[in-house]
Copies of this chain bind each other. A is one copy, B any other.
């Protein structure tokens, strides 16, 4: 494995041109797009236009004139194509947390005789917190059951109302089999909510092909919508009429501007909206989605896997001797779009590596995590990242006390 081979991979990469759609800082190798996606070049101009012209000049009239009011649906439709959903099955709104609360509380009401929410300990903890909150709100008989990721299938029993899983594990990068678990859940009479935070935009998610019920996901990771971007939610068309919103705000009302005193849910996916849409955040996310225009998501997935394969091969060759253990599964069908390494000093190693211009991140307790973003990461990025990481390990740079000082957000 030499650098010429890596450069050849970049030369023949059908997605190589997409990198130009992003404004990446000079001299930085950014492998943290699974935490905050890089800035798409279309964003600053579009946001400036919406602020200066639409808000500044047209003011309140922009809700009609620039159709602000339908942004959640319009942006949702653009995301739908990336995740195997149809137009009218996705809206962009709120945060992943809030959307999950909405779907989970509504889904539990569809299985009133059942009391178990099933999840796994590889789920993003936030999702478990949301489930604990929803269970606490209800009748005190609901419970959250948490298994190991590989034991979810066998834990599905007749008491499970809803299974709540994140497709790709935020730490290890392990990927669940959406189609298989959905089928097993349905066979047992349960519903499934998929969290696509670490999938959407990084691979060819196929919600309808997997017969999925509901999903949530994040706008600021592989969709590049900016810090704290609006999230999205998917409800399969067949479930939309029966899923009754518990977070029933006016934007989900059948006639928001009739100002009736009684809530009456809108038809379709729109009933899941709550408050006034965040137009600035939606504008950034909308502009960011331009970088997916014309992009075939199977190519995105193929490049993601190829980047990961290169990372694994180089890590095995050059890093294994330093005790950096690859914890991401190598088989393609069970891997997401990141490679994670385990080391007792992972925190300091990541800080030292950032000092060398390679940005990855740390996850408790001992994980160094590297996101692979097919639209802007090159194969050369991987080569240089491994080379600099090798340098940090060989020189023991990470042992310096300054790299052990904990930051507020890690």
Q: A51-B39, A125-B260, A139-B139 are in contact. Are A226 and B98 (CB under 8 A)?
A: no
Q: Considering the chains assembled together, what is the distance between the CA atoms of A247 and B95 in angstroms? A: 12
A110 at the interface (CB under 8 A from B): no
B133 touches A247 (CB 8 A): yes
In angstroms, how far is the closest chain B Cβ from the Cβ of A101? 5
A248 interface neighbour in B51, B68, B130, Cβ under 8 Å: B130
A248 touches B59 (CB 8 A): no
Closest to A68 in B: B227
Q: Considering the chains assembled together, what is the distance between the CA atoms of A139 and B231 in angstroms? A: 30
A331 at the interface (CB under 8 A from B): no
A98 interface neighbour in B98, B134, B364, Cβ under 8 Å: B98
Q: A59-B30, A410-B257 are in contact. Are A276 and B44 (CB under 8 A)?
A: no
Q: Which residues of A in the span 35-79 have a Cβ within 8 Å of any Cβ on B?
A: 35-36, 38-39, 43-44, 47-48, 51-52, 54-57, 59-64, 67-69
B136 touches A246 (CB 8 A): yes
A64 interface neighbour in B67, B68, B69, B409, Cβ under 8 Å: B409
A277 at the interface (CB under 8 A from B): yes
Q: Which residues of A in the span 304-337 have a Cβ within 8 Å of any Cβ on B?
A: none
Q: Which of A201-209, A278-286, A293-301 is the interface stretch? A: A278-286
Task: List residues of chain B with CB within 8 A of the CB of A229.
Answer: 278, 280
The 9 closest A-B pairs by CB, nearest first: A95-B275, A133-B248, A97-B249, A97-B275, A227-B279, A126-B250, A129-B263, A39-B56, A228-B278
Chain A residues proximal to chain B, CB less than 8 Å = 23, 25, 28, 30, 32, 35-36, 38-39, 43-44, 47-48, 51-52, 54-57, 59-64, 67-69, 94-98, 101, 105, 121, 124-126, 128-130, 132-134, 136-139, 146, 218, 220, 226-231, 244-251, 253, 257-263, 274-282, 284, 354, 359, 361, 363-364, 407-410
* Sample of 11 more A-B contacts, CB < 8 Å, known A44-B52, A94-B98, A95-B249: A35-B60, A36-B60, A51-B284, A55-B227, A94-B94, A96-B275, A133-B263, A220-B276, A227-B279, A228-B279, A258-B364
| CB pairs A–B below 8 angstroms (17 shown) | A25-B56, A36-B59, A47-B47, A47-B51, A63-B408, A64-B407, A95-B275, A97-B249, A105-B137, A126-B250, A129-B248, A133-B249, A228-B281, A231-B275, A259-B364, A280-B284, A281-B281
